[in-house]
Structure 1
Amino acid sequence: MSDIIQLLPDSVANQIAAGEVIQRPASVVKELVENALDAGANEITIHIKDAGKTLIKITDNGCGMSPTDARMAFERHATSKISSANDLFCIRTMGFRGEAMASIAAIADVELRSKRTEDEVGTRVHIVGSEVKAQEPVAGSNGTTITVKNLFFNVPARRKFLKTNTTELRHIINEIHRVALPNPDIRFSFHHNYSSLYELGKSNLRRRIVDIFGKNVNQSLVPVEEETSMVNITGYVGQPKFAKKTMGEQFFFVNKRYMRHPYFHKAVMQAFEKLLPADAFPSYFLFLEMDPAHIDINVHPTKTEIKFEDERAVWQIIFAAVRESLGKHNVVPSIDFDQNGSIDIPVLGKGNREIRYPEIKVNPEYNPFEQEKNVSSGGWNESRREKQQVDHWEDLYGPPKEKIQHEQQSQLPLGEQGDYGSQSSEKYSGKKVLQLKQRFILTPVKSGLMAIDQKRAHERILFEKFMEVLQSESVASQQQLFPQTIELESGDAELLKNILTDLQALGFDIREFGKNTFVINGTPGMLDVASPGMIVEKLLEEYKNSPVDARAKAKEQVAISLAKASAIDYGIDLKQEEIDHLIDNLFACATPNYSPEGKKVLTIIPLEDIEKTFNK
């Protein structure tokens, strides 16, 4: 039997390595920009076309490369960053593995042009699918320009699984955020399809954050600064009132390298404990500086997962630093005593010399022993207690209403019953309705107690209305008396442009008003919108974080995201008529059981289960 184990060809080995390092166009941008930073560049220009699928071109003014180095850069494990195993424990450069250039060249058409200051001419290297096509001297400016065309041209399976241009562009923008934030002293220029998305000049950290995420973020930033023998922490956290329902502005950096660290994220969240709702996430931009010998960045090919020698100690320092900053800047709420019933002490005026002593009124006929007449051996008089309970109930919830008939909403539609089965014939009684914890609506039904999630119910109602508008194309737009202007960060601006047609079909009148700026002239007539800008921003957050494939169901996804952004939130008190209206509209829906995302809207607690609880 012949031998069956053999070495892989270099081209195949490089394609396998590319699968670990180069996952999408954003991975190429990340690796090339980090190489430019390591080359000492202070100006970096990025041009991409079709979200990087067609073209990625990155130019820097760094040190450049010699002809030999330009060719060696495409060899696997060729690096100038380390020479021995000990160097792995004192790494401060962004790249060091020597895999990126070889991996990119294995799956794309790559051209490199580079020139050092001391050289008269530069070098051009052209490689396609790991095969060197040309290497020749060329004229050019100092620095390096790398052009990557037709990514994954020879790996069609990988190219097929790339997402839409909108999604891939968002990933590229995220990578730019991760290298631009820790390097505010470096100029970044980013263009997509010949349109400028970012022009980030040299500045300080606060200005860089504002340039990326918009001027509205400036008022929310709280500085964080802590120096210890183990780690130094600087940066900013956002005030609780500016927290968002979805993640996206949470950044950790160690020695200027972006990292993902769920454990440290919990430290920040715990520092915000009792300052935020359970489903809100504060912004933070935190930079850790520490001895490289105490961290291990050689964990994952993308180098975003980093291990710390003493994670528990760093966790405590992060928690204390954030908590202290919130306290110093009066973000932690002060004690606010209830003023109802308190003594009102008037200020003594200049012309008023009379001081009146407080008077105490006493009832001389009061006899505390007369209360014994109302006390029996079993406690309070039962009839009196029952009367007090009835009076208290009616004070809170009003007198009993007459039974309301719901002819068309009396039955949940078949085929949408889910777990309810025979409960689909339950009728809403129209009797007492109670809002519980500003989250659930409770109402008695024939077989027990029905609990309705108020937010999901409203989402279902709005979603079906939006879908009806999209299908009928009968747009009713309400013009704003004072149009509102909003400024978005580049990624959100591009996303809004892509879904603008669908939003207009729903009744929005939104137009571009300069770079990354939009003016909202009108909103859907079915919505009572007090702040159109806030609705649009929430819509974009919901849309970005949606698990639904936006390519297949673009209009439906816009309707889902808008319904979630516009629905009443938890923590809001509803009036009796508002609750009745919500229930009526819910049972008029085609699918009242589930939210647009398939989550339960209502459930029925059987009377038998309630009785069992009391019989235990």
Structure 2
Amino acid sequence: MTDIIRVLPDAIANQIAAGEVVQRPASVVKELLDNALDAGATHIEIILEQAGKNLIKIIDNGKGMSMTDARMAFERHATSKIEKADDLFAIRTMGFRGEALASIAAVAHVELKTCTAEQELGTYIAVNGSELITQEPVNCPKGSQFTIKNLFFNIPARRKFLKTNATELRHIIQQVQRIALAYPEVSFHLEHDGNEIYQLPKTKLKQRIVHLFGNTIQTNLIAIQSETSYSSLEGYIGKPEKAKKNFGEQFFFANNRYIRHPYLHKAVMEAYGNLLPSESIPAYFIFINIDPNLLDVNIHPTKTEVKFEDERTLFQIVLATVKEALGKHNITPSIDFEIDRSFEIPTATNAKDIKAPEISVDPNFNPFKQENNGSSFSKFKTERGTKGWESFYDFEDLPMEDTSQQISFEEKEQANIGLFQVKGKYILSQVKSGLMIINQKRAHERIVFEQLFKLSKEKNITTQRLLFPHIISLSATEMTTFNEIAEELKTLGFDIDLFSKDSIAINGMPGGITLENPEQFIQDILNNYNGKKLLDEQLRKSIIETLAKMSSLQKAQSLSPEERQQLIDALFACNTPNHTPSGKKIVHILPLEEIDKYFS
């Protein structure tokens, strides 16, 4: 039998290694920025074309490399940062594996210009797919300039599966944010397709956070600091009332290295406890300084997964530090002692004959045109005929304790008798089998959603101009996402312009829609989209769902008897009156038998 095991050529071995190290353009940017910082750079420029797919250029003013070192840097496992095995347990540099340049050169066209302070001439090297093309002297400034072209040129399948330019750019921006936060004393310039994204001067940490995430975050920051025999912590956390429903402003650093650590995130969330609004996540920028011997960063080539020697102790330190900072700023849960004891008792109507209402459909009716009647509820007009009424309400889709429970037509008609409100949140009505309870906010959400979705399909949504535009600040990542969905927002009646490179102006909204918090609406739809490859209708539905939720009735809002009736009529005219667009329950029937049990 002939021998079949052989040593792979370097070019193939490097491509295999590149699969771990170079996953997308952002991976290249991260590795080159790490090298620049390890070289002592105080200013770094990042220039991109086509989200790094066609060009990534990193220019730094670090110490540069000699001609021999420049050539050796492209060899596998060639590094200046460790010498012996023990060094792996005391890493003090950003890079140390000696894999990055060899991996990048295996899947791209790479050019390097580098020069040290002691040299009169620098070195130029060109490598294509691990093959050295050119090495010659060149006149260049002190430092290093890497030019990466045509990433994955020799792996078409890998290049094919890269995401859209907007998504890949978002990943690059996130990498730049992480490194820029860890090194506020270093200035950064980021440019994409000739447009400046970041111009970050040397500064302090707090100001760097503001430069990256906008001026609105400045008043949201609370400083934290602690020192123990195990580690020291410093940084900033966000005020709980400013917490957002999406990730994006949560950062842990261990010895200036960005890390992901769900266990420590749990410590932060536990420290906030009930201070946070429902389903919200606070901002935090926490720097952990620890003896490198107590930290293992050699877990994964990306170096974002780390192991601490004593994670339980660190958990308690993070928990106590965040709690102390919140306590110093007198941030405690607030209790609302104001109780609304006024609710309407329905009066008897025996003195008058009740006539069946006669309501016809107005085809020109705009369900979003609000009348000035002291309530934000729109006057929906629907036909309450006798035929097909039961089909409006499919109880097979509505989760109930008793799945055999059904509502007859008579019960539907009885739902019009004795409507009254409880604490401005629920509408109660007698039906044949018991008591019907309707969540009025969710009911209105369903109504707005169906009406707006119908108008969007008919391309019949009008735009109402605002007296004063809403100016909303966005981070670079958020701005990239916004540009992806801006056209869809326009088709839904929004008039939004770029106000500056890091802010937008909402000049108009869909007719009849009122948003109390336009900034939160924008944040929510950006978070819901977040680079997902949604079809146009999926994206439209997601935006309308968010719009309906945020423009619906307030949780506790008093409605007149007429408004309650209009709400109920409009709800049961919907195609799906049982649940909100997100699947939450709108209507519940409390059977008479259950009520009787309370008095048995």
Structure 2, unaligned stretches of length 5 or more?
A: 358-382
CA contact (8 A) 1:535 1:566 kept: no
- 1:280 aligns to what SS in structure 2? coil
1:371 alignment counterpart = none
Please tell me whether residue 587 in structure 1 is matched to residue 572 in structure 2: yes
2:180 alignment counterpart = 180
2:457 alignment counterpart = 471
1:375 alignment counterpart = none
2:31 alignment counterpart = 31
Q: Which one-letter code corresponds to 1:588 in the other structure?
A: A
Please tell me whether residue 80 in structure 1 is matched to residue 62 in structure 2: no
Mean CA deviation greater in 513-522 or 413-422 = 413-422
d(CA) in 1 for partners of 2:96 and 2:136?
A: 27
- Change in CA separation of 1:523 and 1:320 when aligned onto 2, cut-off 3 Å: same
Mapping 1:318-397, distance limit 5 Å:
318-333=318-333, 395=343
Q: Aligned-pair distance for 1:83?
A: 1.2
1:139 alignment counterpart = 139
CA contact (8 A) 2:187 2:201 kept: yes
Q: Which one-letter code corresponds to 1:246 in the other structure?
A: N
Mapping 1:148-547, distance limit 5 Å:
148-333=148-333, 395=343, 398-399=346-347, 406-407=384-385, 410-412=389-391, 418=397, 428=412, 429-430=415-416, 458-544=444-530
- 1:248 aligns to what SS in structure 2? coil
- 2:389 aligns to what SS in structure 1? coil
Q: Which one-letter code corresponds to 2:271 in the other structure?
A: A
- 2:241 aligns to what SS in structure 1? helix
Q: Which one-letter code corresponds to 1:55 in the other structure?
A: L
- Change in CA separation of 1:244 and 1:561 when aligned onto 2, cut-off 3 Å: same
Q: Which one-letter code corresponds to 1:472 in the other structure?
A: E
- Change in CA separation of 1:203 and 1:447 when aligned onto 2, cut-off 3 Å: same
CA contact (8 A) 1:542 1:564 kept: no
Mean CA deviation greater in 492-501 or 144-153 = 492-501
1:559 alignment counterpart = 544
d(CA) in 2 for partners of 1:172 and 1:613?
A: 62
d(CA) in 2 for partners of 1:147 and 1:416?
A: 63
Mean CA deviation greater in 72-81 or 261-270 = 72-81
- Using the size of structure 2 for normalisation, the TM-score is 0.83
Q: Aligned-pair distance for 1:498?
A: 3.0
CA contact (8 A) 2:240 2:277 kept: no
Q: Residues 242-281 of structure 1: CA distance to partner in whole angstroms, max 9, x if unpaired?
A: 1111121111111111111111111111111121123111
CA contact (8 A) 1:592 1:601 kept: no
Q: Residues 129-156 of structure 1: CA distance to partner in whole angstroms, max 9, x if unpaired?
A: 2222222222111111111122222222
- Change in CA separation of 1:463 and 1:334 when aligned onto 2, cut-off 3 Å: closer
d(CA) in 2 for partners of 1:509 and 1:306?
A: 46
Q: Which one-letter code corresponds to 1:493 in the other structure?
A: M
d(CA) in 2 for partners of 1:338 and 1:560?
A: 32
Mean CA deviation greater in 167-176 or 523-532 = 523-532
Mean CA deviation greater in 556-565 or 131-140 = 556-565
Q: Aligned-pair distance for 1:436?
A: 8.7
- 1:501 aligns to what SS in structure 2? helix
CA contact (8 A) 1:457 1:582 kept: yes
CA contact (8 A) 1:400 1:431 kept: no
Aligned residues: 561
2:112 alignment counterpart = 112
Structure 1, unaligned stretches of length 5 or more?
A: 341-391
Q: Residues 25-79 of structure 1: CA distance to partner in whole angstroms, max 9, x if unpaired?
A: 1111111111111111010111111222221111111111112222222222111
Q: Aligned-pair distance for 1:505?
A: 1.9
Q: Residues 307-347 of structure 1: CA distance to partner in whole angstroms, max 9, x if unpaired?
A: 1111111111111111111111122257887799xxxxxxx
- 2:225 aligns to what SS in structure 1? strand
CA contact (8 A) 1:417 1:593 kept: no
Q: Aligned-pair distance for 1:14?
A: 2.0
d(CA) in 2 for partners of 1:101 and 1:507?
A: 49
CA contact (8 A) 2:223 2:234 kept: yes
- 1:513 aligns to what SS in structure 2? strand
- Change in CA separation of 1:596 and 1:144 when aligned onto 2, cut-off 3 Å: farther
d(CA) in 2 for partners of 1:442 and 1:335?
A: 27
Q: Which one-letter code corresponds to 2:544 in the other structure?
A: A
- Change in CA separation of 1:588 and 1:551 when aligned onto 2, cut-off 3 Å: closer
Q: Which one-letter code corresponds to 1:589 in the other structure?
A: C
- Change in CA separation of 1:50 and 1:282 when aligned onto 2, cut-off 3 Å: same
Q: Which one-letter code corresponds to 2:203 in the other structure?
A: S
Q: Aligned-pair distance for 1:551?
A: 7.1
d(CA) in 2 for partners of 1:193 and 1:277?
A: 40
- 2:226 aligns to what SS in structure 1? strand
d(CA) in 2 for partners of 1:221 and 1:39?
A: 32
d(CA) in 2 for partners of 1:454 and 1:4?
A: 73
CA contact (8 A) 1:410 1:425 kept: no
- 1:278 aligns to what SS in structure 2? coil
Q: Which one-letter code corresponds to 2:248 in the other structure?
A: G
Q: Residues 329-372 of structure 1: CA distance to partner in whole angstroms, max 9, x if unpaired?
A: 122257887799xxxxxxxxxxxxxxxxxxxxxxxxxxxxxxxx
- Change in CA separation of 1:426 and 1:171 when aligned onto 2, cut-off 3 Å: farther
CA contact (8 A) 1:538 1:565 kept: no
2:56 alignment counterpart = 56
- Change in CA separation of 1:277 and 1:135 when aligned onto 2, cut-off 3 Å: same
Q: Residues 216-235 of structure 1: CA distance to partner in whole angstroms, max 9, x if unpaired?
A: 10011111111111111111
d(CA) in 1 for partners of 2:286 and 2:279?
A: 21
Q: Which one-letter code corresponds to 1:479 in the other structure?
A: R
- 1:181 aligns to what SS in structure 2? helix
Q: Residues 179-209 of structure 1: CA distance to partner in whole angstroms, max 9, x if unpaired?
A: 0111111001111111001111011011001
Q: Aligned-pair distance for 1:299?
A: 1.1
Q: Aligned-pair distance for 1:521?
A: 1.7
Higher relative contact order (CA 8 A, sep 6+): 2
Q: Which one-letter code corresponds to 2:389 in the other structure?
A: S
CA contact (8 A) 1:107 1:155 kept: yes
d(CA) in 2 for partners of 1:77 and 1:287?
A: 30
Q: Which one-letter code corresponds to 1:253 in the other structure?
A: F
Q: Aligned-pair distance for 1:5?
A: 3.1
Mean CA deviation greater in 582-591 or 419-428 = 419-428
d(CA) in 1 for partners of 2:132 and 2:506?
A: 53
CA contact (8 A) 2:521 2:546 kept: no
Mean CA deviation greater in 411-420 or 131-140 = 411-420
CA contact (8 A) 1:443 1:449 kept: yes
Q: Which has the larger radius of gyration?
A: 1
Q: Aligned-pair distance for 1:537?
A: 3.2
CA contact (8 A) 1:412 1:425 kept: no
- Change in CA separation of 1:301 and 1:395 when aligned onto 2, cut-off 3 Å: same
- Change in CA separation of 1:316 and 1:501 when aligned onto 2, cut-off 3 Å: same
1:344 alignment counterpart = none
CA contact (8 A) 2:343 2:422 kept: no
- Change in CA separation of 1:554 and 1:338 when aligned onto 2, cut-off 3 Å: closer
Identity among equivalent positions (%) equals 48
Q: Residues 582-613 of structure 1: CA distance to partner in whole angstroms, max 9, x if unpaired?
A: 5544433334455545x354576685995999
CA contact (8 A) 2:529 2:539 kept: no
d(CA) in 2 for partners of 1:64 and 1:93?
A: 16
Mean CA deviation greater in 56-65 or 418-427 = 418-427
- Change in CA separation of 1:476 and 1:131 when aligned onto 2, cut-off 3 Å: same
d(CA) in 2 for partners of 1:69 and 1:50?
A: 31
Mean CA deviation greater in 457-466 or 230-239 = 457-466
CA contact (8 A) 2:53 2:149 kept: yes
- 2:5 aligns to what SS in structure 1? coil
